[in-house]
């Protein structure tokens, strides 16, 4: 395919433009489908172009790996439930990091093996060998340790989100000193490898980076996992960009840089929504780790008011405005379609229904938006926190479905709370609040929620999907 080789840079340029259009499309729900299509076309161009410009490729191995990967990817995409999407995303990030490590290892071993052979013999066989430059070594150094950190950190994030027993949060005064020692040792080994090319230092750097990735993320509590997933997305992009320099592949450099920068920007936006810095999230202790757990014997029991789905249906059908606040409980109960049906029924009765989304609701960025889009909820009905907060005081009913920390008034009222200062959905200002939960257990950040004990709040216990379906039946049964 001489034509593709001759115009490879042009094909890569087209792919890069399409990747930029992908990000532009994914910035809004109405253009997300087109953005995904641009991304698929760009990736197809990148893969095919790289395949045909490669020197002496082992075709069967490349095609076999592509087919196997496609089979696994399609099967996973078709079967993964939305409740497992966050951990699936984290697992995919880990594979990008692992690929970066393996490419760096292969490049260095290959270069070292060639260096042992006679240069004249290599040239006679058409192999152009040049000793690895300092710039090349630096690229491998960065790509390898960033990829290694991304791999183990993402594996831990997967385990944490999937509630695996081996993904235990670690805490204690020893954590930060150990993190610092591992990082310094890793960096020192990497610098020694960069200056001398010593393979022992390279293996030490890689091993320490793998350990550091795990120890770095393990102290982060569940409440901060959405930010961690976003940041690891950024890291996977930078790892890919670093390896792009190693492979001298412009497309990989561009695509990795786009993923890295967009992930970093998203992490910043989410930290801003939590009123915290990225340094505080990753090194200052986690929400779940810093919450003070009060023993039941040390604190007087608090009273809450509970009700039934029939009560909720009556209140909503007689309201003028309803705001629905979805949380992880909606994802866990797979209730998004039932919620859509409830919203449609209320609209038929003349009730204004809107959805309020907090930037860090769920277990990954945009989790609630994805669920609602899957249920075909109109985009114009879905409002972000800044758009909806001023409307809560005039709202008749707020229905909270499995959300905890993002509606916790302690973020505004309790200076001693670990989430104090975090912007929240101000559901507590509505005239009536209804909360669907399985129990009075705390949320992912491990904090009690004052909203549940508000005089205006009615708790409705049960599976989110079943409760919402019962609400819909109650509204129909009332004959409204």
118 counts as catalytic: no
Count of other CB atoms within 10 angstroms of residue 77: 9
DSSP notation for 32-82: HHHHHHHHHHHHHHHHHHHHHHSSS--HHHHHHHHHHHHHHHHHHHHH--G
Q: CA 260, 262, 266 angle in degrees (round to 5)?
A: 115
User: By the 8 A CB rule, do 286 and 220 touch?
Assistant: yes
Q: Which alpha helices (DSSP H) does 197-335 contain, by range?
A: 199-217, 225-247, 250-273, 278-283, 287-290, 309-317, 328-332
Helix (H) or strand (E) holding 382: strand 382-384
Handedness of CA 77, 88, 236, 206 (dihedral sign): negative
Q: Identify the active-site residue in 405, 448, 450, 470.
A: 405
Q: Can you tell me the distance from the alpha carbon of 264 to that of 242, in angstroms, rounded to the nearest whole number?
A: 16
Q: Can you tell me the distance from the alpha carbon of 365 to that of 26, in angstroms, rounded to the nearest whole number?
A: 12
CA 396 to chain centre: 33
Instruction: Name the nearest CA neighbour of 358 among 322, 288, 431, 411.
Output: 411
User: By the 8 A CB rule, do 308 and 460 touch?
Assistant: yes
Structure tokens belonging to residue 376? 């075909």
Residue numbers annotated as active site? 405
């Amino acid at each position: 395919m001489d034509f593709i080789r001759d115009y490879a840079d042009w094909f890569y340029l087209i792919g890069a433009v399409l990747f930029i259009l992908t990000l532009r499309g994914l910035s809004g729900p109405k253009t997300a489908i087109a953005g995904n299509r641009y991304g698929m076309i760009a990736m197809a161009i990148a893969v095919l172009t790289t395949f045909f410009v490669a020197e002496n490729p082992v075709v069967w191995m490349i095609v076999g790996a592509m087919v196997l990967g496609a089979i696994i990817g399609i099967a996973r995409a078709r079967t993964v439930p939305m409740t497992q999407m966050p951990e699936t995303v984290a697992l995919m990030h880990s594979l990008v990091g692992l690929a970066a490590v393996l490419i760096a290892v292969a490049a260095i071993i290959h270069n070292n093996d060639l260096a042992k052979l006679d240069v004249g013999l290599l040239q006679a066989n058409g192999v152009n060998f040049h000793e690895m430059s300092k710039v090349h070594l630096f690229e491998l150094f960065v790509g390898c340790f960033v990829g290694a950190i991304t791999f183990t950190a993402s594996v831990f994030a997967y385990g944490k989100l999937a509630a695996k027993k081996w993904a235990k949060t670690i805490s204690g005064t020893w954590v930060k000193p150990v993190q610092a020692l591992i990082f310094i040792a890793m960096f020192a080994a990497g610098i020694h490898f960069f200056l001398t090319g010593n393979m022992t230092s390279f293996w030490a750097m890689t091993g320490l980076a793998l350990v550091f990735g795990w120890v770095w993320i393990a102290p982060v509590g569940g409440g901060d996992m959405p930010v961690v997933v976003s940041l690891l997305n950024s890291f996977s992009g930078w790892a890919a960009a670093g390896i792009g320099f190693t492979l001298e592949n412009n497309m990989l450099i561009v695509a990795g840089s786009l993923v890295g920068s967009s992930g970093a920007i998203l992490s910043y936006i989410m930290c801003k929504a939590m009123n915290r810095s990225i340094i505080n999230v990753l090194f200052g202790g986690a929400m779940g780790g810093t919450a003070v757990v009060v023993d039941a014997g040390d604190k007087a029991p608090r009273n809450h008011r509970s009700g039934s789905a029939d009560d909720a249906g009556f209140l909503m059908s007689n309201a003028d405005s309803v705001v629905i606040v979805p949380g992880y409980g909606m994802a866990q109960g797979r209730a998004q379609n039932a919620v859509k049906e409830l919203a449609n029924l209320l609209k038929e009765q003349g009730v204004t229904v809107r959805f309020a989304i907090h930037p860090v609701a769920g277990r990954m960025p945009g989790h609630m938006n994805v669920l609602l889009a899957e249920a075909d909820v109109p985009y114009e009905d879905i409002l972000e926190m800044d758009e909806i907060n001023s409307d809560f005081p005039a709202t008749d009913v707020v229905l909270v479905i499995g959300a905890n920390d993002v509606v916790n008034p302690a973020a505004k009222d309790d200076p001693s709370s670990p989430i104090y200062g975090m912007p929240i959905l101000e559901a507590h200002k509505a005239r009536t609040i209804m909360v669907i939960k399985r129990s009075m257990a705390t949320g992912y950040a491990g904090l009690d929620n004052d909203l549940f004990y508000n005089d205006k709040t009615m708790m409705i216990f049960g599976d989110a999907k079943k409760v919402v379906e019962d609400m819909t039946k109650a509204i129909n049964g009332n004959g409204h």
